[in-house]
């Protein structure tokens, strides 16, 4: 028999998680602030709790997937968490996760934080590439490993409850840089190049360039930022000037790419012509 669980939050992500657990045969108790969102799930077999406290009381395993840290405070304010295993799939910062872990412990609960690396249509679809980083209580992760693996693959990254959020947000930050670069590229070409074909080129090019992250890891690990550099900083700073002049010619604001080119110029001015871009990582450290 599949073990029961309670899920608080039936937004885009919570709804997808709920359907994955129902489809796998787990008895599911759900709660959502706006009750209407639970109706469709009730027809699909979920039991709907009238209050968050009632949903928490119903199962040993309580999963929350709400908008942000503050909405978890709101939702759980009146709930008795003693003896519960609380799993928080709400996106937050590492410090928020650590604070939530202390908060849960004060209330007698064991705590596991999660960072979902997927969009809702990937949830519950084997082979979609969806996975969730988990950190915090190893006991909770192991006790519920089968249940947690239903909606997506799992990756436990350590006892420090902040580590799942750190992994999650670091990857989202890399993605944000990619979104910024892609937006700038479309702004350059939108009136002159067929956009669907251009998207094919973007996907291929970013895929080909992504492994440069391995070189950056090697540089940072070894402290030698010049090893195996094929594109040196002096050349790239000269190339960046071309990027900025092209933006000007195309009447596109440089505001998305200029911050990065400025940092590369600073590193070059500090005397690192034979490095690649790894030195920018040093410049980003706030003293
Ligand atoms: P939605 O906006 O679709 O849903 C937000 C949920 O939070 C709803 O259930 C909403 O309730 C609830 N909520 C908001 N404020 C409060 C509050 N003060 N008290 C109680 N409940 C509240 O968001 P998603 O489902 O997409 O996202 C949920 C979490 O999952 C977020 O942390 C997000 O970062 C994360 N995530 C989402 C991904 C995505 O692509 N969608 C990808 C990876 C992670 P109500 O219905 O009443 O408004």
Tell whether 176 and 155 lie within a shared domain.
no
What is the per-residue pLDDT for 231? Answer: 93
In the reported structure, the alpha carbon of residue 60 is separated from the centroid of ligand 1 by a whole-number distance in angstroms of 22
pLDDT tens profile 108-152: 999 999 999 999 999 999 999 999 999 999 999 999 999 999 999
Q: Give the three-class secondary structure for 201.
A: helix
- Is there a single domain that holds both residue 233 and residue 99? no
| Residues 179 and 259 placed together within one structural domain of the fold | yes
Are residues 189 and 136 both part of a single domain? no
Q: What is the pLDDT of residue 1?
A: 82
Whether the pLDDT of residue 211 is over 90: the answer is: yes
Confidence of residue 250 (pLDDT cuts 50, 70, 90): very high
Q: What is the pTM of this model?
A: 0.95
- 222 C-alpha vs ligand 1 centroid, how far in Å? 41
Could you say which of 105, 126, 159 is where a domain stops? 159
Please choose, from the candidates 195, 273, 287, the residue with its C-alpha nearest in 3D space to the C-alpha of residue 234.
273
User: What distance in angstroms lies between residue 88's CA and the mean position of ligand 1's atoms?
Assistant: 12
Atom of ligand 1 nearest to the CA of 91: 32
Cα 249 to Cα 188, 198, 220, 246, distances in angstroms: 9, 19, 37, 5
ipTM above 0.85, yes or no: yes
Nearest CA to ligand 1 atom 46: 34
- The atom of ligand 1 lying closest to the CA of 13 is 25
End-to-end CA distance of the chain: 54
With tokens 């420090």, the residue in question is 160
Domain final residue, candidates 159, 178, 206: 159
The pLDDT value recorded for residue 14 is 98
The pLDDT of residue 98 is above 90: yes
Q: Looking at ligand 1, which atom is closest to the CA of residue 9?
A: 9
If one residue of 6, 7, 10, 11 were mutated to test the ligand 1 pocket, choosing by the most ligand atoms within 8 A of its CB, it would be 11
Q: In what order do the strands lie in the sheet with 110-117?
A: 47-48, 28-31, 5-8, 61-64, 85-88, 110-117, 131-136, 153-156
Pocket test for ligand 1, best of 10, 13, 134 (most atoms within 8 A of CB): 13
- Which pLDDT belongs to residue 100? 98
The Å distance, Cα 243 to ligand 1 centre, comes to 38
Question: Residue 42 is encoded by which pair of tokens?
Answer: 């009730």
Pocket of ligand 1 (CB under 6 A): 9-14, 32-34, 37, 65-68, 71, 74-75, 90-91, 116, 119-120
Distance 180 CA to ligand 1 centre (A): 24
DSSP one-letter string for 99-152: HHHHHHHHTT-EEEEEEEES-GGGTT-TTS--EEEEEE-HHHHHHTHHHHTTTS
Domain enclosing residue 51, as ranges: 5-159
For atom 37 of ligand 1, the residue with the nearest CA is 13
Question: Which residues make Cβ contacts (< 8 Å) with residue 188, sequence separation at least 6?
Answer: 246, 247, 250, 252
Q: Which atom of ligand 1 is nearest to the CA of 10?
A: 9
Q: Does residue 261 share a domain with residue 153? A: no
Q: How confident is the model at residue 177 (pLDDT cuts 50, 70, 90)?
A: very high
Is residue 278 over pLDDT 90?
yes
Verify that 231 and 265 share a domain, yes or no.
yes
Give ∠ CA 262-266-268 in degrees, rounded to 5. Answer: 115
CATH assignment at residue 50? 3.40.50.720
CA-to-CA distance for 254 and 117, rounded, in angstroms? 30
Task: Count CB-CB contacts under 10 A for residue 247.
Answer: 19
Q: In terms of domains, do 147 and 172 share one?
A: no
How many residues does this entry show for the chain?
Answer: 287
Total domain count, the chain? 2
Q: Which atom in ligand 1 lies closest to the alpha carbon of residue 68?
A: 32
Residue 136, exposed/middle/buried by CB under 10 A (0-12, 13-18, 19+)? buried
Of 129, 159, 189, which marks where a domain is finished? 159
**CA-CA distance, 229 to 215, in Å (whole number)?**
8
Domain check: are 38 and 87 in the same one?
yes
Asked whether residue 233 carries a pLDDT value surpassing 90, the answer given is yes
CATH code, 254 = 1.10.1040.10
Alpha-helical regions (H) of the chain = 12-23, 36-43, 52-58, 69-76, 94-106, 138-143, 145-148, 163-189, 195-209, 212-222, 233-249, 258-269, 279-284
Task: Give the pLDDT band of residue 84 (cuts 50, 70, 90).
Answer: very high
Residue 239, pLDDT > 90, answer yes
Residues 151, 253: one domain? no
In the chain, what percentage of residues exceed pLDDT 70?
Answer: 100
């Amino acid at each position: 028999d599949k073990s029961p669980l309670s899920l608080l939050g039936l937004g885009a992500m919570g709804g997808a998680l709920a359907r994955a657990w129902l489809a796998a045969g787990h008895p599911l108790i759900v709660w959502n602030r706006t009750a209407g969102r639970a109706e469709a799930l009730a027809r699909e077999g979920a039991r709907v709790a009238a209050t968050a406290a009632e949903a928490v009381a119903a199962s040993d395993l309580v999963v929350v997937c709400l908008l942000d840290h503050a909405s978890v405070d709101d939702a759980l304010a009146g709930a008795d968490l003693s003896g519960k295993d609380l799993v928080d799939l709400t996106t937050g910062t590492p410090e928020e996760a650590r604070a939530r872990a202390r908060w849960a412990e004060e209330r007698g609960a064991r705590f596991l934080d999660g960072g979902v690396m997927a969009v809702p249509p990937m949830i519950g679809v084997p082979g979609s590439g969806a996975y969730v980083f988990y950190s915090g209580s190893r006991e909770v992760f192991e006790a519920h490993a089968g249940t947690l693996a239903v909606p997506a693959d799992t990756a436990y990254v350590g006892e420090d409850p902040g580590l799942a959020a750190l992994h999650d947000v670091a990857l989202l930050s890399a993605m944000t840089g990619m979104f910024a670069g892609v937006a700038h590229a479309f702004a350059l070409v939108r009136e002159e190049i067929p956009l669907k074909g251009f998207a094919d080129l973007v996907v291929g090019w970013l895929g080909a360039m992504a492994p440069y992250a391995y070189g950056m890891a090697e540089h940072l690990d070894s402290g030698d930022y010049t090893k195996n550099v094929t594109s040196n900083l002096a050349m790239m700073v000269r190339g960046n000037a071309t990027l900025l002049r092209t933006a000007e010619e195309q009447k596109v604001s440089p505001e998305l790419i200029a911050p990065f080119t400025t940092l590369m110029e600073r590193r070059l001015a500090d005397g690192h012509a034979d490095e690649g871009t790894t030195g920018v990582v040093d410049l980003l450290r706030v003293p």
